Amino acid sequence: DAMVIQNPRYQVTQFGKPVTLSCSQTLNHNVMYWYQQKSSQAPKLLFHYYDKDFNNEADTPDNFQSRRPNTSFCFLDIRSPGLGDAAMYLCATSRGTRGEGYEQYFGPGTRLTVT
């Protein structure tokens, strides 16, 4: 059974048109992360939530926002997508952020195309 679910798997949006990607988890993990992965590059952490506490990476553009209405769901909002935002967006969860047992469980990703 899927533990980290991302919908949709493929999303096409127009330049400048807001888009929302969703992630849900059945693991009841405290932490949820969003990563951006461009072609042939490593995943890059955008931000994460520890419960309701939002933690933004210093170099994440303001164009990217996130919401976590409850433990199970987390959303990535791109307010005005540019061509450079085309990428795979990965959601991940973990029980905690310190020490052993810190492994992250990733979803399958949403591939975003900007036209």
Partner 1 sequence: LAKTTQPISMDSYEGQEVNITCSHNNIATNDYITWYQQFPSQGPRFIIQGYKTKVTNEVASLFIPADRKSSTLSLPRVSLSDTAVYYCLLGFQKLVFGTGTRLLVSP
Please say which residue, 8 or 16, places its beta carbon nearer to partner 1.
Answer: 8
Q: Residue 37 CB, nearest distance to partner 1 (Å)?
A: 9
Q: Residue 104 CB, nearest distance to partner 1 (Å)?
A: 7
Q: Of the candidates 35, 13, 12, 30, which has an alpha carbon nearest to the alpha carbon of residue 107?
A: 35
- Residues at the site binding partner 1, with contacts judged by CB under 8 A: 4, 42-45, 48, 88, 90-92, 97-100, 102-109, 111
Q: What is the DSSP string of 85-110?
A: G-EEEEEEEES-SSSTT---EE---E
**CB 87, CB 35: distance < 8 Å:** no
Q: Residue 13 CB, nearest distance to partner 1 (Å)?
A: 19
